[in-house]
Amino acid sequence: MKITTKVAHFTSPLYLESGRILEPYDIKYETYGTLNKAKDNVILICHALSGSHHAAGYYEGERKPGWWDGLIGDGKAIDTTKYFVICTNTIGSCFGSTGPMSSNYPSNEPYRLKFPVVTIKDMVKAQMHLLSSLGIYGVHSIIGGSMGGMQALQFAVDYPNFAKNIIAMATTYATQPWAIAFNKVAVEAIRRDPRFNNGNYAKDEFKELGCDGLAIGRIAGHISYLSPDSMGDKFGRRYVSNDGLFELFGRYEVERYMEYNTGNFSKIFDPLSYLYIVKAINTFNLSRGYESLYDAVLRIKANIHLISFSGDLLFLPREMEHLAKMLDRNSQSYTYHEIDSNYGHDAFLVELDKFKSIVSEVLSR
């Protein structure tokens, strides 16, 4: 599989939903496969909160592949021998696209809290600018899960003639209070961390020791990505063998797992980017800018394919089902699958065998 990683630099202004302007800005992106002469074999992949442009394959010296490697590649469900696959790092993130720790032109100082709030609409608009710069004015399909699914649906509404197919997984039409409440734990934990210093920290501040506030907030997030069943299956009530049961801070295996994973995450993900992306997720509402959700959905011309997971406690299947019923009432082209899963929200990243045939079938039509 041919992998290419690039950074596109834009000097034209990006007009944001808030009324503010981002100028200049960069978008880091990765491509897989080969673009055909007609440029009609493009599939756009949209990542979730903690994802990046590195969706598949291995970098040199890397032990873990891209976050959706089981789905994207030669001969896989998203077959890179047939399709030219693009995945961008969203604006606001910390993996190469312009975000809060990028230089606030013309100075060399980071934006920090001067960075404008970005929304899912803004992320989608920035990707449209990138694709236009590549001479791509329509795509075969747009695919994403969680926040990536939000982007996919936003593309379908805002740019109804752009994609033939939209595959949105484990997502919603508008972020609900339950999800916002989980995100609030992370927001407050980061803000109250003394080393966060109201965003005035050095660029490499957390690379060695991590950000305690982000690690704590990520624990709450991680709980929302799993389910009672998947936690029970993975950890049971096993206790860390070298921790005393009657030590106050002795740990169960599930506690050690949370400490390890969220601690490492806080060393690689910028806390300001986390705050900005969480804000984009919280403010997501497919109907904003239109008279109602019905009017927004009525704009859609693509074939919509919705996939939910029965054990998802973050974005409940009924939220996707609500969209499906609306599409059905409008006689718009759609399919809806609720996958039987007890894994939780992260099933879209983990249980690929349960839905990859659906993806493959949609793409082959």
- Catalytic positions are 146, 312, 345
Could you give the CA distance from residue 80 to residue 48 in angstroms, rounded to a whole number?
Answer: 21
Could you give the CA distance from residue 151 to residue 75 in angstroms, rounded to a whole number?
Answer: 26
Name the burial class of residue 210, with classes exposed (0-12), middle (13-18) and buried (19+) by CB atoms within 10 angstroms of its CB.
buried
Could you give the CA distance from residue 117 to residue 60 in angstroms, rounded to a whole number?
Answer: 35
Closest CA to 131 of 29, 15, 13, 1: 29
CA dihedral of 260, 262, 268, 271, whole degrees rounded to 10: -150
**Quick check: 167 and 359 in contact, CB under 8 A?**
yes
Could you give the CA distance from residue 182 to residue 315 in angstroms, rounded to a whole number?
Answer: 12
Name the burial class of residue 253, with classes exposed (0-12), middle (13-18) and buried (19+) by CB atoms within 10 angstroms of its CB.
middle
CB-facing half-sphere around the CA of 152: CA atoms within 13 A: 32
Residue 107 phi/psi, 5-degree rounding, is -85, 170
Side chain identity at residue 189, one-letter code: A
Q: Which residues pair with 86 in a beta bridge?
A: 31, 44
3-state secondary structure of 144: strand
